[in-house]
Amino acid sequence: MAKYANVIVDISLDKLDKTFQYLIPEELKDTIREGMQVEVPFGNRSLAGFVMELTDEAEFDESKLKPVTSLKEDGVAIESQLIALAAWIRRNYGGTMNQALKTVLPIKQKTKAVEQRSVRLLISKKEAQEYLALFEAKHNTAKARLLRELIEQDVIQYQVITQKLHVTASVVKGLEEKGILAVESQTAYRNPIGHLNPEGYDKVLNAGQQHVVDVITSDMQKEEYGTYLLKGVTGSGKTEVYMELISHVLREGKQAIVLIPEIALTYQTVMRFYNRFGKRVSIMNSRLSGGERYDQFLRAKNGDVDIMIGPRSALFTPFTNLGLIIIDEEHEASYKSETVPRYHARETAIARAAMNHASVVLGSATPSVESYYQAKQGNFKLLELSERVQKRPLPECEVIDLREELRSGNRSILSTRLQELMDNRLRNGQQTMLFLNRRGVAGFVSCRACGHVIRCPHCDVSLSQHAGGRMVCHYCGYEQPEPKVCPECGSRYIGGFKAGTQKVEEIVKKRFPKARVLRMDYDTTRTKGSYEKILSAFSNQEADILIGTQMIVKGHDFPNVTLVGVLAADMSLHVSDFHAAERTFELLTQAAGRAGRGEAAGQVVIQTYDPKHYAIEAAKDQDYETFYEKEIAYRSMLRYPPVANMLLILCTSEKEEAASQAASHLTECIQKTGNREYQVMGPADASIRKINDIYRKVIYIKAADYETLVELKDKLEHYMKEENCFRNVMIQFDFNPMNGW
Ligand SMILES: Nc1ncnc2c1ncn2[C@@H]1O[C@H](COP(=O)(O)OP(=O)(O)OP(=O)(O)O)[C@@H](O)[C@H]1O
Ligand SMILES: [Zn+2]
Ligand SMILES: [Zn+2]
């Protein structure tokens, strides 16, 4: 039991770094927790504060520390809940308490809310008339102008005074000092969607949707708050289910958070919620200014809104009576933070919900292997929607073998079959989407004649091309020279795969000169608003063909799209990351899901060098179960998450030698624990060995149990504090990493 509590007494200002240490009196030792609100002596006053950290390390001489006075009974302040969540995050993902607090308490940002100032007449109209006569007599025209207006209106916006009446601030100030008027200010919270007009709402759930809603709401009625995995095929109406659940929660006087990957958080999606809930909804995204974001948190805290829609960070909306957290497209890798603390929004949502008696609904057409595993283990309740709304058929999928195309003399990136279908769509006035899977295009080496890919013999992930003709495994550091001929078939057509969306656009325009073509990728969406512009142009049928990267496959609903072409499906299979097959299956299924969402049926063409790969076969049949069974077998065999847990330690330094040494030290230290549970891989170079002149080394540790890895992290953090060989090295932890490093 900890002896000391580090307490913060002010979270409204940017003073998070400043904690004060107090003794924990014997009688509070059992009950005090991180995040709790406490009463502490401060100077000669008594202040309320929050416990940031419980520790055994005294910052000062113990005799100089004062004891915590008491725990506050109403320790339910929203800040208190969020601080407790920060403590959970720090413990489970590493990093400092300060980093964790900055993640959960963006309310402390220094941005100010917009103030709206106005001027009010303080004296009676009769007195005002007397002053007016006086000013007119003295030819104080500005004062007279203002007063005349105030006699008529009582209150005038400050802006009107300076801009319309052309009265200066000093004149206003002069009258204020005389006690004639008062300048008042009100906070006006910016509302990023305040300009929209709700259209109303008219849908009735079908039986499948209603069943899902019934199961969850009846659990809520029984005060059972669990985690649900809603597995619903593309176009099955998951969003309607979310909205019905939200209105249930609102009726109970509670609030809801809806997480949607930033890329899918389009005007179209926001409007669906807005049409139903109007002004009770707010949104959060990275395009909002700091001030706008801050205002959304305040509106939530003040009870002005009850539904917050946004990406990962919206999870920390300070709702005081949270009832429901929805995570749409829960398989998305963007739910994992890429900066310290590297929390996963799914796990963190579950932790927050448990603290708040809220339910969590995870929705996806292609659940993450992790979540489906949890459902199979009975930790999540599985609910399914296996049909599209109005029984629209799922699209028909064909797989085209690109090796065959090469053999039959077609060197184009568009197979003969795909060209034929595109031609047909153009003639029928229907739309086509072409998806180029750019993920992981960096680095892998494959044979264009037979499709063979060079892989690590130990880790079963693709090796990556490095300078000097080397190929390296990013998990274990295994190395071999780059082959000149294919070790499988002897062909010399072996090398890195290179093709971009721009190239594809050129080819398409040349082949279909009359088609109107749009391209959406990193380059065409860099300017503000361009992303929405391309989507709405395509939605309004101003183009026949949309070419894009993974950006185009996420959750869009274009009823006139009846053909989806996947140009090189297996590219994402060769990332040096154990999630490669999962990502591929997910991307293909989601891409296919864009076809045939309207009246006309959809068709999908998947082009690949590896048609027999289980991820591609399963995507073709849109068969999640078969994919999952194969994938979980592979993960079990190699002890990858979710079957086991994995901790990545990243050591970075300007000096390569220092990073290497630190990595070896840590590895030794792990081995010295003698714990057989730990399976250590590395140290090795990270997949990008050097960024901005900072060298990067990685160690991977697998263990059956997550908690064992948390303990290991604690131990290593402790060790690092004592040893000074880590001085010029930065160490970061990443639990169950989502991307290759
Ligand atoms: N009960 C219903 N009655 C009529 N139309 C519905 C109903 N439920 C959903 N829809 C419509 O069906 C379409 C697909 O629904 P929705 O976008 O909610 O599916 P989804 O499961 O979220 O799809 P995806 O995972 O592919 O994004 C939408 O246009 C939606 O308005
Ligand atoms: Zn070959
Ligand atoms: Zn390896």
Per-residue pLDDT tens over the stretch 669-713: 998 888 888 999 889 888 777 777 788 899 999 999 999 999 999
Ligand 3 geometric centre to CA of 507 (Å): 38
Q: Is omega for the bond preceding 642 within 30 degrees of 0, making it cis?
A: yes
Same domain, 622 and 650: no
Q: Report the percent of the chain where pLDDT is more than 70.
A: 93
Identify which of 268, 385, 389 to mutate to test ligand 1's pocket (most ligand atoms within 8 A of the CB): 389
pLDDT of residue 75: 46
What is the rounded average pLDDT of the residues 536-544? 93
Q: Is 669 annotated as a binding residue?
A: no
pLDDT of residue 390: 84
Identify which of 229, 268, 269, 557 to mutate to test ligand 1's pocket (most ligand atoms within 8 A of the CB): 557
13 pLDDT tier (thresholds 50, 70, 90): very low
Task: State the closest ligand 1 atom to the C-alpha of 232, by its place in the atom list counted from 1.
Answer: 21
pLDDT of residue 114: 57
pLDDT of residue 318: 92
Same domain, 403 and 546: yes
What's the CATH code of the domain at 685? 3.30.70.600
Ligand 2 geometric centre to CA of 196 (Å): 56
Same domain, 99 and 124: no
What is the Cα–Cα distance from 726 to 715, expressed in whole angstroms? Answer: 15
What's the CATH code of the domain at 33? 3.40.1440.60
Task: State the closest ligand 1 atom to the C-alpha of 234, by its place in the atom list counted from 1.
Answer: 26
Q: Which ligand is nearest to the CA of 685?
A: 3
Q: Is 486 annotated as a binding residue?
A: yes
Task: State the closest ligand 1 atom to the C-alpha of 236, by its place in the atom list counted from 1.
Answer: 21
Q: Which of 326, 335, 288 is nearest to 308 (CA)?
A: 326
DSSP 150: H
581 pLDDT tier (thresholds 50, 70, 90): very high
Ligand 3 geometric centre to CA of 30 (Å): 47
Ligand 2 geometric centre to CA of 446 (Å): 8
Residue 156 clears pLDDT 90, i.e. is over it: no
Ligand 2 geometric centre to CA of 19 (Å): 62
pTM of this structure: 0.80
- DSSP letters of 258-312? EE--GGG--HHHHHHHHHHHGGGEEE--TTS-HHHHHHHHHHHHTTS-SEEEESG
Q: Is 450 annotated as a binding residue?
A: yes
Contact 605, 564 (CB under 8 A): yes
What does the pLDDT look like over 223-242, one tens digit per residue?
999 999 999 998 899 999 99
Better pLDDT: 579 or 115:
579
Q: Does residue 456 belong to any structural domain of this protein?
A: no
Ion ligand 2 contact residues with beta carbon within 5 A:
447, 449-450, 452, 486, 488-489, 491
73 pLDDT tier (thresholds 50, 70, 90): low
Q: Which of 620, 546, 553 is nearest to 587 (CA)?
A: 553
pLDDT of residue 110: 45
pLDDT of residue 212: 97
Ligand 2 geometric centre to CA of 550 (Å): 28
Residues having CB within 6 Å of any atom of ligand 1: 203-206, 209, 232, 234-240, 365, 389, 555, 557, 593
ipTM of model: 0.93
SS3 content of the chain, % helix, strand, coil (to 5): 40, 25, 35
Q: Which ligand is nearest to the CA of 276?
A: 1
Q: Does residue 478 belong to any structural domain of this protein?
A: no
Q: Which ligand is nearest to the CA of 493?
A: 2
Q: Does residue 466 belong to any structural domain of this protein?
A: no
Query: From atom 23 of ligand 1, which residue's Cα is the shortest distance away?
Result: 235
Identify which of 231, 239, 552, 588 to mutate to test ligand 1's pocket (most ligand atoms within 8 A of the CB): 239
Contact 413, 507 (CB under 8 A): yes
Query: From atom 4 of ligand 1, which residue's Cα is the shortest distance away?
Result: 203
Task: State the closest ligand 1 atom to the C-alpha of 209, by its place in the atom list counted from 1.
Answer: 1
Better pLDDT: 732 or 500:
732
Task: State the closest ligand 1 atom to the C-alpha of 239, by its place in the atom list counted from 1.
Answer: 18
Q: Does residue 741 belong to any structural domain of this protein?
A: no
Task: State the closest ligand 1 atom to the C-alpha of 364, by its place in the atom list counted from 1.
Answer: 25
Long-range contacts of 538-543 (CB under 8 A, 24+ apart): 538/431, 539/268, 541/431, 542/516, 543/431, 543/516, 543/517, 543/518
Q: Does residue 491 belong to any structural domain of this protein?
A: no
What is the chain's mean pLDDT, rounded?
86
| Highest mean pLDDT pick, 450-454, 569-573, 613-617, 722-726 | 613-617
Q: Which ligand is nearest to the CA of 475?
A: 3
Same domain, 573 and 687: no
Contact 104, 85 (CB under 8 A): yes
pLDDT of residue 463: 82
Q: Which ligand is nearest to the CA of 213?
A: 1
pLDDT of residue 259: 97
Better pLDDT: 708 or 14:
708
Query: From atom 26 of ligand 1, which residue's Cα is the shortest distance away?
Result: 234
pLDDT of residue 154: 74
Look up residue 252 and give its amino acid: E
User: Which of these three, 137, 160, 188, is where a domain ends?
Assistant: 188
Ligand 2 geometric centre to CA of 716 (Å): 45
Sign, CA dihedral 686-687-690-691, equals negative
Residue 503 clears pLDDT 50, i.e. is over it: yes
Q: Which of 399, 338, 459, 300 is nearest to 603 (CA)?
A: 399
Q: Does residue 199 belong to any structural domain of this protein?
A: no
What is the Cα–Cα distance from 94 to 698, expressed in whole angstroms? Answer: 16
Ligand 1 geometric centre to CA of 240 (Å): 6
Query: From atom 29 of ligand 1, which residue's Cα is the shortest distance away?
Result: 557
Identify which of 203, 234, 240 to mutate to test ligand 1's pocket (most ligand atoms within 8 A of the CB): 240
Task: State the closest ligand 1 atom to the C-alpha of 272, by its place in the atom list counted from 1.
Answer: 31
Task: State the closest ligand 1 atom to the C-alpha of 329, by its place in the atom list counted from 1.
Answer: 25
What does the pLDDT look like over 213-226, one tens digit per residue?
999 999 999 999 99
User: Which of these three, 583, 612, 635, is where a domain ends?
Assistant: 635
Same domain, 100 and 74: yes
Query: From atom 15 of ligand 1, which residue's Cα is the shortest distance away?
Result: 237
pLDDT of residue 424: 96
| Highest mean pLDDT pick, 70-84, 263-277, 634-648 | 634-648
Ligand 2 geometric centre to CA of 481 (Å): 17
Contact 647, 666 (CB under 8 A): no
Ion ligand 3 contact residues with beta carbon within 5 A:
456, 458-459, 473, 475-476, 478
Residue 1 clears pLDDT 50, i.e. is over it: yes
| CA distance readout (Å), 542 to 113, 430, 517, 533, 560 | 40, 11, 9, 11, 12
Q: Which of 335, 348, 270 is nearest to 309 (CA)?
A: 270
Q: Which ligand is nearest to the CA of 488?
A: 2
pLDDT of residue 200: 65
What's the CATH code of the domain at 231? 3.40.50.300
Q: Which of 574, 569, 566, 578 is nearest to 611 (CA)?
A: 569
585 pLDDT tier (thresholds 50, 70, 90): very high
**Lowest mean pLDDT: which of 73-87, 449-463, 520-534?**
73-87
Ligand 3 geometric centre to CA of 460 (Å): 7
| Highest mean pLDDT pick, 150-154, 265-269, 606-610 | 606-610
User: Which of these three, 614, 635, 656, is where a domain ends?
Assistant: 635
What does the pLDDT look like over 379-420, one tens digit per residue?
999 999 999 888 888 889 999 998 898 888 887 889 999 999
Q: Which ligand is nearest to the CA of 495?
A: 2
Query: From atom 1 of ligand 1, which residue's Cα is the shortest distance away?
Result: 205
Q: Report the percent of the chain where pLDDT is more than 90.
A: 43
Residue 364 clears pLDDT 80, i.e. is over it: yes
What is the Cα–Cα distance from 346 to 567, expressed in whole angstroms? Answer: 32
Q: How many domains does the chain have?
A: 5
pLDDT of residue 120: 86
Same domain, 589 and 709: no
Q: Which of 29, 28, 18, 24 is nearest to 5 (CA)?
A: 24
pLDDT of residue 497: 63
Contact 319, 282 (CB under 8 A): no
pLDDT of residue 186: 67
Same domain, 246 and 306: yes
Same domain, 650 and 630: no
Same domain, 29 and 143: no
Ligand 1 geometric centre to CA of 191 (Å): 27
Same domain, 121 and 102: no
Q: Does residue 469 belong to any structural domain of this protein?
A: no
Ligand 1 geometric centre to CA of 604 (Å): 20
Q: Is 651 annotated as a binding residue?
A: no
What is the rounded average pLDDT of the residues 519-524? 82
Query: From atom 11 of ligand 1, which residue's Cα is the shortest distance away?
Result: 237
Secondary structure, 3-state, 108-134: HCCCCCEEEEEEEECCCHHHHHHHHHH
What does the pLDDT look like over 103-140, one tens digit per residue?
887 647 444 555 678 888 888 888 889 999 999 998 88
Q: In the Cβ-directed half-sphere of 694, how many Cα atoms lie within 13 Å?
A: 11
Ligand 1 geometric centre to CA of 373 (Å): 26
Range of the domain at 670: 645-735
Same domain, 67 and 214: no
Token pair, residue 368, equals 């993450």
Task: State the closest ligand 1 atom to the C-alpha of 594, by its place in the atom list counted from 1.
Answer: 26
Task: State the closest ligand 1 atom to the C-alpha of 206, by its place in the atom list counted from 1.
Answer: 1
Residue 740 clears pLDDT 70, i.e. is over it: no
574 pLDDT tier (thresholds 50, 70, 90): confident
Query: From atom 16 of ligand 1, which residue's Cα is the shortest distance away?
Result: 237
Contact 232, 238 (CB under 8 A): yes
What does the pLDDT look like over 160-206, one tens digit per residue?
888 888 888 888 888 888 888 888 776 666 667 666 666 666 788 99
pLDDT of residue 115: 63
Query: From atom 27 of ligand 1, which residue's Cα is the shortest distance away?
Result: 555
Ligand 1 geometric centre to CA of 229 (Å): 17
| Highest mean pLDDT pick, 83-97, 210-224, 459-473 | 210-224
What is the Cα–Cα distance from 438 to 505, expressed in whole angstroms? Answer: 14
Same domain, 246 and 317: yes
Q: Does residue 43 belong to any structural domain of this protein?
A: yes
Ligand 3 geometric centre to CA of 474 (Å): 7
For residues 362-372, one letter each, b for 16 or more C-beta atoms within 10 angstroms of the residue's C-beta and e for the rest, the string is bbbbbbbbbbb
Q: Which ligand is nearest to the CA of 266?
A: 1
